Amino acid sequence: MKAVIIGAGEVGYHIAKALSPKNDVVVIEKNEEASRRVDELDVLVIEGNGANAEILSKVLQNADLLVAVTGVDEVNIVACMTAKLITKNKNGWKDIKTIARVSNPDYIDSPVTSRAQVGVDLMICPELALASEVADILSSPSAIDAEMFAEGKVKMTEFAISPESKLVGKHIQDLQLADYCIVSAVFRENEIIIPHGDDLIKANDHMVVVGKPEAMENLEIIFGSEVPHRTRILLIGCGIVGLYLAKLIDREENADLRIIEQSRSRCIEVADILKNALVLNGDGTDVSLLKEEDIQDMDVVVAITDSDEKNLLCALLAKQLGAKKVIARADRSDYLPLFEMVGIDMAVSPREATVNEVLKLTMGRGIQTLTTIEGERAEIIEYTASDKSKIVDKPLNKVKFPKGSLVNMVVRGKETIIPRGEFVINEGDRVVIFSMASAISEVEKFFK
């Protein structure tokens, strides 16, 4: 396919990087430094304004997809509208799909939505998607990642096994997980393991558990260090992402939320919006303030300001002062492994939601949800099986599924199933699959 990407910042660069190996990619970017960076990929780079109709007219012929991901919402929306108008008025040109990145809550109130009436097939808010991801993680304080599939019927949660964990040295079958709940994968240093019941759990393992949400309610007791209690959460920073996240947490009865925000006027604004949170005007790097707020008793500290460097410093201070788990926002992708290398439990980035939505449109038919885990080393993908899918109408033990992949769950109507070898997938089933990065292209072939 041919894809046109407007904006070569963090999000645009990673979309271009993901698409360029198998697709014809054109990138439009007016910043010279960003243009040079993306020019290292196998893509055509045009320096200029991506909302300029003259530039778009030159590159949109035979294009299948336009992705506008600059840092300005209005530029992204106008670029999509312009692309629709240009392709509509050119006889024989394809009906182009458009995606716009939008952050302003005046334009969008959910992570992903459609605004087809104004020429945007898919509008994505990375900040709200990030807030939703962190909120899912906070629902289980011991988790380091979480994602929902099949409209909330299947949940994925990733846990890190500390050296002090009571699980170290036990077999996976000793976990005694509830029905409709399985360990999908284990990440151990540079190794990815699709586990069996007799495999041993080791210190520093990352374990991915998939199951029905109600079957996973007791996982905190299994993977946590104590019986769940009212979760104590401290947010540092309450900009767009922070407020999105605070609103989600504020609805939870089992959360004790405190917020530190440096801007006094923003504190007043946030305090008027939130009903159950304590909002403090101060600096998240102020050690005295952190100690006054009993940071050593916090279950989770989330550093979510607009500065990667400040988030890193706040998270390190929180960890040093005794917070049980710290999460830090990192907009720059090259910071993600660095943050975790220095002891932060989890680094999260707004760019992944946008990249994943674009990949869903380009990887093939039937993809409903896609999430990358462990720094893109693996993916969990939800497909809807069609009558043309090679995986339907035969027992799974007769399907030569690629090594490094596993069918985790199947949702059939209102029923959620952990499939065994003799299970037969039907047309219309929603199939949740774990796959190593090396096996993804082979998995796709079963659903085309």
* Average pLDDT of the chain, as a whole number: 87
CATH superfamily assigned to domain 231-348: NAD(P)-binding Rossmann-like Domain (3.40.50.720)
Assign 155 to helix, strand or coil. Answer: strand
CB under 8 Å to 288, separation ≥6 — which residues? none
Compute the distance between CA of residue 35 and CA of residue 252 in angstroms, rounded to an integer: 44
CA gap 337, 403 in Å, rounded: 27
Mean pLDDT computed over 225-233: 68
Query: In terms of C-beta density within 10 A (0-12 exposed, 13-18 middle, 19 or more buried), how is residue 77 classed?
Result: buried
CA 200 to chain centre: 29
Q: Are 383 and 447 in contact (CB under 8 A)?
A: yes
Domain 2-124 superfamily per CATH: NAD(P)-binding Rossmann-like Domain (3.40.50.720)
The per-residue pLDDT for 109 is 77
pLDDT at residue 366 in the model: 64
Per-residue model confidence as pLDDT tens digits over 40-58: 898 999 999 999 999 999 8
Architecture of domain 353-445: 2-Layer Sandwich (3.30)
Residue 119 confidence (pLDDT):
87
Tell me how far apart the alpha carbons of residues 319 and 119 are, in angstroms, rounded to a whole number: 46
- pLDDT class for 448, splitting at 50, 70, 90? confident
Asked if pLDDT for residue 227 goes beyond 60, the answer is no
Q: What is the pLDDT of residue 329?
A: 92
Residue 382's beta-bridge partner residues? 369, 432
The pLDDT score that the predictor gives to residue 290 is: 94
pLDDT at 352 over 80: no
Domain boundaries, given as residue ranges, for the chain: 2-124, 145-223, 231-348, 353-445
Confidence of residue 337 (pLDDT cuts 50, 70, 90): confident
**pTM for the whole thing?**
0.73
Fold of 145-223: Alpha-Beta Plaits (3.30.70)
pLDDT in tens, 262-300: 999 999 999 999 988 999 999 999 999 999 999 999 989
415: amino acid identity, one letter: E
Look at the block and give the residue holding tokens 């990358």.
Answer: 372
Would 145-223 and 353-445 be classified into the same CATH topology? yes
How many CA atoms, within 13 angstroms, populate the side-chain half-sphere of residue 195?
A: 23
